[in-house]
């Protein structure tokens, strides 16, 4: 007949019954385990996430009330509410069976049993357990879906050569399942590019799940990404899938990947390489089918050289590398974006018809935008709120004051200037030390020696 997936625990004090059930059920189900002492149930449930438990109604000799079975049924339901429990008894006491059903049992069977009826009953109970798990997982996915629906749908705006080149790469890579690494300063739109890759991919009908891994504490990292089973740690009141499982068949976007500690990088690498995860507190491996996109504002090549980022993880996540330019290098895209945000916020605050005059546009173009697109959007929103006339003038645009160097401390040593130049060259060449050395007019080995001596 072929085996059904699912793990079953049989609890009965009669060892001959355990042997008989083991022989009967092993060919029918994936994993069948037996115990004769009900006091071992809590330890078993912590150790393994069973889909179904077959539980005797009576354990004490000469006692046929079913109270002990009802007690253990309630304990199982406290620990694993979604696990199906089928009660088994030699006594055709309808009242006791009804009590068991009211206490949460899925069904009951009588000793001596009919083999075919018993297997059919267990299959039904097992399917009920799977259905409950699917509903719970769907609820988790529904939360992510609500987040997606409520998220403002933004498009990539701009026509500068840098942006059109990036959009061309996005279109080419979207049709594949290649891992993508997106780098660039804060506020340059890394998540927006990730969403565009997902939107144009064959996975667009599924979820794109975003995780700011840099914000996860070490204790939450595994639970958030890989999920956990109930009781795995103090606050684990119920089993939960992690982001890898929720993103199954879709896209997983890991933001701020450069901020993960070195030892957690190994755990992430294992999941990315094998496309298998294990929930915290479980020993069961779950396969996941995801498209991985990562982002960071840090120079990962430099971090590899400094021993702060695993080279093997970088190779895994960096099949395609997309470097986003800062806003200050995008020319007239500053104006295009400013006018887009002006329209957006004039509608939001009922100030339709508002526009930027030429001097205001010049002021925007002449600013360095250290906070990039995010800063530009906040600046325009503030201008719309505070402007009292339909024309936004330079004085209506509030920019962060540019830090002027302190004259007393503006003098730099030769070593400091050299360090600045080296860092700029490495940044401009996306961490490529050979290209950086060539730009500086020195050999790669000399550059490497300077980096080591500067630590």
All structural domains of the chain, each given as residue ranges with its CATH number in brackets, are 4-133 (3.40.50.2300), 151-323 (3.40.50.300), 330-396 (1.10.8.60), 408-453 (1.10.10.60)
End-to-end CA distance of the chain: 66
pLDDT higher than threshold 60 for residue 26 = yes
| Residue 3's pLDDT band (cuts 50, 70, 90) | very low
* Position with higher pLDDT, 130 vs 201: 201
Q: Are strands 285-287 and 276-278 parallel, antiparallel or unpaired?
A: antiparallel
| Residue 83's pLDDT band (cuts 50, 70, 90) | confident
| Residue 150's pLDDT band (cuts 50, 70, 90) | low
Task: Encode pLDDT of 242-292 as tens digits.
Answer: 999 999 999 999 999 999 999 899 999 999 999 999 988 888 888 999 999
Phi, psi (degrees; rounded to nearest 5) at 116: -65, -40
| Residue 2's pLDDT band (cuts 50, 70, 90) | very low
* Position with higher pLDDT, 43 vs 98: 43
* Bridge partners of residue 181, in order along the sequence: 294, 321
SS3 at position 353: coil
| Residue 439's pLDDT band (cuts 50, 70, 90) | confident
Residues 6+ apart with CB under 8 A from 449: none
Task: Encode pLDDT of 352-364 as tens digits.
Answer: 889 999 999 999 9
Q: Where are the beta strands (DSSP E) in 177-327?
A: 180-183, 208-212, 227-228, 240-241, 251-255, 276-278, 285-287, 291-296, 320-323
Computed over every residue of the chain, the mean pLDDT equals: 85
Q: How far apart (Å, rounded) are the C-alpha atoms in residues 137 and 240?
A: 8
| Residue 85's pLDDT band (cuts 50, 70, 90) | very high
What's the rounded mean pLDDT across residues 111-135? 83
What's the rounded mean pLDDT across residues 102-123? 86
At 91 the pLDDT is 60
Count CB atoms within 10 A of the CB of residue 61: 6
Residues 6+ apart with CB under 8 A from 356: 338, 339, 342, 364, 391, 392
Residues 6+ apart with CB under 8 A from 118: 24, 109
SS3 at position 277: strand
SS3 at position 186: coil
pLDDT higher than threshold 50 for residue 407 = no
Q: Where are the beta strands (DSSP E) in 361-433?
A: 391-392
Q: Where are the beta strands (DSSP E) in 213-263?
A: 227-228, 240-241, 251-255
List the structure tokens of 141: 């996915």
| Residue 239's pLDDT band (cuts 50, 70, 90) | confident
Instruction: Put the strands of the sheet holding 320-323 in their side by side order.
Output: 208-212, 251-255, 291-296, 180-183, 320-323
* Position with higher pLDDT, 64 vs 401: 401
State whether the Cα torsion 250-256-261-262 is positive or negative: positive
Tell me the range of 126-135, 369-378, 446-455 where mean pLDDT is highest: 369-378
Whose CA is closest to 310, among 342, 263, 379, 349?
263
pLDDT higher than threshold 60 for residue 408 = no
At 151 the pLDDT is 56
Whose CA is closest to 331, among 111, 96, 159?
159
What's the rounded mean pLDDT across residues 97-105? 83
Angle at 259 between CA 258 and CA 264, to 5 degrees: 95
Question: 212-220 long-range CB contacts below 8 Å, 24 or more apart?
Answer: 212/255, 212/256, 213/254, 213/255, 213/256, 213/257, 213/259, 213/260, 213/268, 214/255, 214/256, 214/257, 214/258, 214/259, 214/260, 215/256, 218/261, 218/264
Q: For the chain, what percent of residues have pLDDT higher than 70?
A: 87
At 1 the pLDDT is 38
SS3 at position 291: strand
Residues 6+ apart with CB under 8 A from 429: 435, 436, 439
Residues 6+ apart with CB under 8 A from 415: none
pLDDT higher than threshold 50 for residue 156 = yes
Tell me the range of 162-176, 230-244, 419-433 where mean pLDDT is highest: 162-176
Q: For the chain, what percent of residues have pLDDT higher than 90?
A: 46
At 161 the pLDDT is 94
At 80 the pLDDT is 82
Let me know: does 392 contact 360? Beta carbons within 8 Å: yes
At 454 the pLDDT is 56
Whose CA is closest to 229, among 219, 242, 217?
242
What's the rounded mean pLDDT across residues 43-68? 79
Q: From residue 380, give the alpha-carbon distance in Å to each of 70, 144, 152, 392, 446.
A: 66, 30, 18, 10, 46
Task: Encode pLDDT of 179-238 as tens digits.
Answer: 999 999 999 999 999 999 999 999 998 889 999 998 888 888 999 999 887 777 777 777
């Amino acid at each position: 007949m072929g085996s059904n997936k699912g793990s079953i625990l049989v609890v009965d004090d009669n060892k001959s019954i355990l042997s008989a059930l083991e022989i009967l059920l092993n060919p029918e189900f994936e994993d069948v385990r037996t115990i004769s002492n009900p006091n071992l149930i809590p330890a078993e449930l912590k150790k393994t996430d069973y889909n179904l438990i077959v539980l005797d109604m009576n354990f004490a000799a000469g006692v046929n009330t079913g109270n002990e079975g009802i007690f253990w049924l309630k304990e199982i339901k406290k620990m694993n509410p979604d696990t199906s429990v089928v009660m088994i008894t030699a006594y055709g006491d309808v009242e006791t069976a009804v009590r068991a059903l009211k206490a949460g049992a899925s069904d009951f069977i009588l000793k001596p049993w009919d083999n075919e009826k018993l297997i059919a009953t267990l299959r039904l109970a097992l399917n009920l357990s799977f259905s409950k798990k699917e509903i719970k997982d769907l609820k988790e996915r529904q939360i992510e879906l609500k987040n997606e629906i409520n998220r403002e749908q933004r498009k990539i705006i701009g026509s500068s050569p840098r942006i059109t080149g990036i959009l061309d790469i996005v279109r080419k890579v979207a049709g594949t399942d290649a891992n993508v690494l997106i780098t660039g300063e804060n506020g340059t739109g890394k998540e927006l590019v990730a969403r565009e890759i997902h939107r144009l991919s064959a996975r667009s009908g599924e979820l794109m799940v975003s995780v700011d891994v840099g914000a996860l504490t070490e204790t939450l990292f595994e639970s958030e990404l890989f999920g956990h089973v109930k009781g795995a740690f103090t606050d684990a009141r119920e089993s939960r899938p992690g982001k890898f499982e929720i993103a199954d068949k879709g896209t997983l976007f890991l933001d701020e990947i450069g901020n993960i500690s070195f030892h957690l990088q190994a755990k992430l690498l294992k999941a990315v390489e094998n496309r298998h995860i294990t929930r915290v507190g479980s020993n069961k491996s779950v396969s996941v089918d995801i498209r991985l996109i990562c982002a960071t504002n840090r120079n990962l090549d430099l971090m590899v050289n400094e021993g702060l980022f695993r080279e093997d993880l970088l190779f895994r996540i960096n099949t395609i590398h997309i470097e986003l330019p800062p806003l200050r290098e995008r020319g007239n895209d500053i104006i295009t974006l400013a006018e887009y945000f002006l329209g957006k916020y004039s509608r939001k605050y009922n100030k339709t018809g508002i526009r930027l005059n030429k001097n205001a546009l010049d002021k925007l173009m002449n600013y360095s935008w250290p906070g990039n697109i995010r800063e530009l959007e906040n600046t325009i929103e503030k201008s719309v709120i505070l402007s009292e006339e339909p024309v936004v003038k330079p004085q209506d645009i509030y920019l962060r004051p540019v830090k002027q160097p302190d004259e007393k401390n503006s003098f730099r040593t030769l070593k400091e200037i050299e360090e600045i130049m080296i860092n700029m060259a490495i940044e401009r060449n996306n961490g490529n030390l050979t290209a950086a050395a060539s730009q500086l007019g020195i050999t790669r080995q000399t550059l490497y020696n300077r980096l080591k001596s500067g630590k």
